[in-house]
Amino acid sequence: MILGLLVVAYSVSVVLRTSAQHRTWLDGWVVVGIEFALSMLCVSRGLTSKQHRGAPIFLGLGLLSWTIGDVILTIETLGGATASSPSLADLFYLGFYPLAYIATVLLLRRTVGILSKPNWLDGVVAGLGAAAVCAAFAFHSIAQVAGGGAASAAVNLAFPIGDVLLLFLVVGGTALLSGARRAPWLLLAAGIGMNVVGDTFNLFQSTAGSTAVGSDVNAIAWPVSILFISMAVWVRSGVTDPLRGPHTAGFFLPGVAAIGGLGLLVVGTQRSVGQTALGLALATLLMVGLRLFLSARDLRVLTEQRQRQALTDELTGLGNRRQLFQVLDAFFSQPFDGDEGPHELAFLFVDLNHFKEINDSFGHPAGDELLRQVGPRLNDAVRGKDVVLRFGGDEFGVVLLGADLQTAETVAQRIAAGLDEPFAIHETKAHIGVSIGIALAPSDATDAAGLLWCADVAMYRAKLGNVPFECYNHDIDGGEHQIRLVDELRDAIESRSLVLHYQPQLDLKTSRIVAVEALVRWPHPRLGLVPPLKFIPLAEDAGLMGTLTALVLDMALAQCAAWWEDGRYLAMSVNVSSTNLLNNDFLGLVTGLLSRHDVPARALVLEITETSIITDFEASQDVIARLRDLGVVVSIDDFGAGYTSLAYLSNLAVRELKLDGTLITGLGSVRDDRDLELVRATIDLGHAMGLRVVAEGIEDDATLGLLRELGCDLAQGYHISRPMPAGELAIRPTFEDAHAEHLG
């Protein structure tokens, strides 16, 4: 502040005094003292700063070099003497330029950040235009002072060259910073601008004769310039807003510079203009042409890039929902009775099973990595002309052009097989399942939204049925038929028209049938015997799961009571969903039915999938504990299909693990040591926790024997018995007797 006031006071004194009132102590030593103090402030700023130290130090050294030049010039002109030309002071004056140039570049890089090539060209255009105009004035007088010898001419030429280069940087940088309002840069630009003004007037004083105005400007320019430059390194630039978008350079200064360059070329055709100025003007217009060319090219590239981004999923690189509707809309917009173009289209709605468990167990980065690996596997499973897309989350889609139902099912099988292979994530092998819904166009739907809905419905049935894929069935899933089916299902539940089939569970130690699993069937008058995977989705959507489960439990416990009265003490397993488990009335329902049918609580096994438990673990934990206190056995169904059960198993009051069929199927015929050890470890884990272990999906005698060797407790599957009505189920004292009768 004090130095600034001194500079202002000195400038006022220069304007008020005449040239005859020159004072060496004031115009020489006071100015030198101010300049030295300002240069030291710059250097100290750089030495004390923790970052970006280069620009202040180089600026300070440059100002110090200029100050030393003023000291030498003041000494040479003591007593009114005339300084030599060239002078030793000129060497230090010229030393200012390279140091200031380096500092300016450093500050420009720090302030501007990353810009595109066209933005940098805006700065080049502005700088060249300003340099051309400056050269037109500065270099015009060089010839008049060149007669003083080679050294004098070189020195006189060096000053305007240095000024032109600095002006080029300052104006160009100001163009790049248009709108940024960076105070340090603007102060630096003002300071260097004042320096150029001072050198220009000094040159005119030397060549065209001294004037009062020129003398005043020549005296004031350098102290003011040094003040502004010193202030630039101390003023804070402010905090950068991280939400501010990429900076775009302004067009005002480049436009003015281009007009100036064009004007110089026009003037050059009428009167003498220096070759340097004409060369810079021509370079300005060439840069303008290059800028226009790059802008047009970048606009085309940007348009193509934005179009790709609009149709591409960022994480996987696959197409996105927008591309899907673009393809489907193009397909549905064509006539289907012509002779050209694909007349059929199959759409596969692909949903990953247990993806949430992977995210919960390994973290979202692991989930993202798995999704990135899914894309190539999907591409490997489809044909070259097919389109693979990702909707978001763990949902993918595949568009098969010119594909019929058989082709779609073949591709679905390949996708299921490809995704069944383990994924390598963070040095861990992760397994996922897949549920695929298939819909055809135009047979299933005649618009894009309808086709997605059909495939989504089919996918949901596949997920509930624990099968890889399902095709859209208009009789079950379609519009008015679905509404009709819901009404018919509601009537069937109310009239107790549903039936139960029972699949036995074999005790592998005694070879006796000790339990059965109740599986509900719907004998539909029009569709025949409908399995649960066909109508459970309807019950879920229509809010019928509560009444449906109550009916199944009632029928199952009634049959269990009949068997117990007949001396066949079988346990009864019944599947319940998370909707049932977390219902406030569920415990009362179970208690009431056990009492009504006079069945001991230990005879009832409620099977709950581990994914259902994880959905709301704390609430599920509480209900399971209360069921345990009641005496009911709670079984974790499909164990091994998820990823979080092991983390929570010790906190659940369950008494049985039911191994997922994917771990068991074919285990005896195609023995894989890793799969075998996985099953063995799971059985040992269950036993270590005091749990009974049940294996399902037994389809051959070798697998049954292997599970017996591994110490599994119970087993069920088609090899033992298919699900049958109670009246057709032959329950013998031992499995061997029943199996012999079956082979009969």
With the C-alpha atoms ordered 460, 465, 466, 467, is the resulting torsion angle positive or negative? negative
Distances (CA, A) of 543 to 479, 523, 607: 18, 21, 20
Task: Give residue 146's pLDDT band: very low, low, confident or very high (50, 70, 90).
Answer: very low
pLDDT at 741: 38
Domain boundary among 258, 279, 296: 296
Q: What is the pLDDT of residue 735?
A: 44
For residue 237, the SS3 value is coil
Same domain, 605 and 699: yes
pLDDT band at 664, cuts 50/70/90? confident
Asked if 382 and 374 count as a contact pair (C-beta separation under 8 A), the reply is: no
Tell me the mean pLDDT in the region 458-482.
76
Give the integer Cα–Cα distance in Å for 660 and 670.
17
DSSP SS3 for 575: strand
**Alpha-carbon distance 460 to 469, whole Å?**
9
Q: Do 18 and 129 fall into the same domain?
A: yes
- pLDDT more than 90, % of the chain: 20
Residues 692/700, Cβ–Cβ less than 8 Å:
no
Same structural domain, 385 and 510: no
pLDDT value for 446: 84
The rounded distance, in Å, linking the Cα atoms of 258 and 121 is 12
Spatial contact of 517 and 743, defined as CB atoms under 8 Å apart: no
Residues 285 and 334 in one domain: no
Q: What are the Cα distances from residue 237, in Å, to 77, 172, 402, 470, 570? A: 41, 19, 62, 63, 82
Domain assignment present for residue 325? The answer is yes
Q: What is the 3-state secondary structure (H, E, C) of 39-72?
A: HHHHHHHHHHCCCCCHHHHHHHHHHHHHHHHHHH
Per-residue pLDDT for 248 more than 60?
no
- Does the pLDDT of residue 143 top 50, yes or no? no
Q: Are residue 117 and residue 160 in the same domain, yes or no? A: yes
CATH number at residue 645: 3.20.20.450
Q: Above 80 in pLDDT, residue 154? A: no
Same domain, 263 and 344: no
Domain CATH number, residue 429: 3.30.70.270
Number of domains in the chain: 3
Banded model confidence at residue 537, pLDDT cuts 50, 70, 90: confident
Check residue 548 and give its pLDDT. Answer: 93
If DSSP codes are grouped into helix, strand and coil, which group holds residue 424? strand
Helices marked H in 526-616: 532-542, 545-565, 578-581, 586-597, 610-615
How large is the C-alpha radius of gyration of the chain? Answer: 44
Cβ(637)–Cβ(658) under 8 Å? Answer: yes
d(CA 418, CA 87): 83
Confidence grade of residue 734 (pLDDT, cut at 50, 70, 90): very low
Both 732 and 665 in one domain: the answer is yes
Q: Is position 586 within any domain?
A: yes
Reported as a single tens digit per residue, the pLDDT across 627-649 is: 999 999 999 887 765 554 555 67
- Structural domain includes residue 536: no
Does 255 reside within a domain?
yes
Residue 169 is assigned to a structural domain of this protein? yes
Residue 180, pLDDT above cutoff 50 = no
Answer whether residue 528 is part of any domain: no
The region of weakest confidence among 80-84, 337-341, 561-565 is 337-341
- CA-wise closest residue to 349 among 408, 432, 414, 435: 435
- What mean pLDDT comes out for the span 102-106? 75
Verdict on whether the full-model pTM lies above 0.85: no
Q: Report whether pLDDT(502) > 70.
A: yes
Torsion angle of the four alpha carbons 716, 717, 719, 721, in this order, in degrees rounded to the nearest 10: 80
Residue 626 and residue 710 share a domain: yes
Choose the weakest-confidence range: 179-193, 348-362, 428-442.
179-193
Give residue 161's pLDDT. Answer: 63
Averaged pLDDT for residues 87-108: 77
DSSP H helices, 387-516, are 405-420, 448-464, 474-477, 479-494
The highest-confidence range among 146-160, 389-403, 533-547, 637-651, by mean pLDDT, is 389-403
Domain termination residue (choose one: 472, 507, 537): 472
Q: Is residue 577 part of a domain?
A: yes
pLDDT one-digit tens code per residue, 560-575:
999 999 999 999 999 9
Output DSSP code: residue 736. Answer: H
Q: Which of 60-64, 119-123, 260-264, 273-277 is predicted least confidently?
A: 119-123
Residue 113 vs residue 386, higher pLDDT: 386
**Residue 311 resides in a domain:** no
Which of the listed ranges 92-96, 166-170, 232-236, 708-712 does the model predict with the highest average pLDDT?
708-712
Average pLDDT value over all residues in the chain: 77
Q: Domain of 176?
A: 2-238+246-296
Query: Are residues 442 and 586 part of one domain?
Result: no
Which range is most confident: 213-227, 296-310, 524-538?
524-538
592 and 725 both lie in a single domain: yes
Q: What is the mean pLDDT of residues 482-498?
A: 86
Among 472, 491, 511, where does a domain finish? 472
Among the ranges given (246-255, 489-498, 546-555), the one the predictor scored with the smallest mean pLDDT: 246-255
Q: Is the pLDDT of residue 114 over 60?
A: no
Q: Provide the CA 579 distance to its chain's centre, in angstroms.
A: 34
pLDDT at 630: 93
Q: Which residue has the tokens 């008494």?
A: 655
Give long-range contacts, CB 8 A cutoff, 24+ apart: 206-214: 206/141, 206/145, 206/156, 207/141, 207/144, 207/145, 208/141, 210/19, 212/18, 212/19
pLDDT for 266: 66
> For 601-611, what is the mean pLDDT?
88
| Residues 505 and 463 grouped into a single domain | no
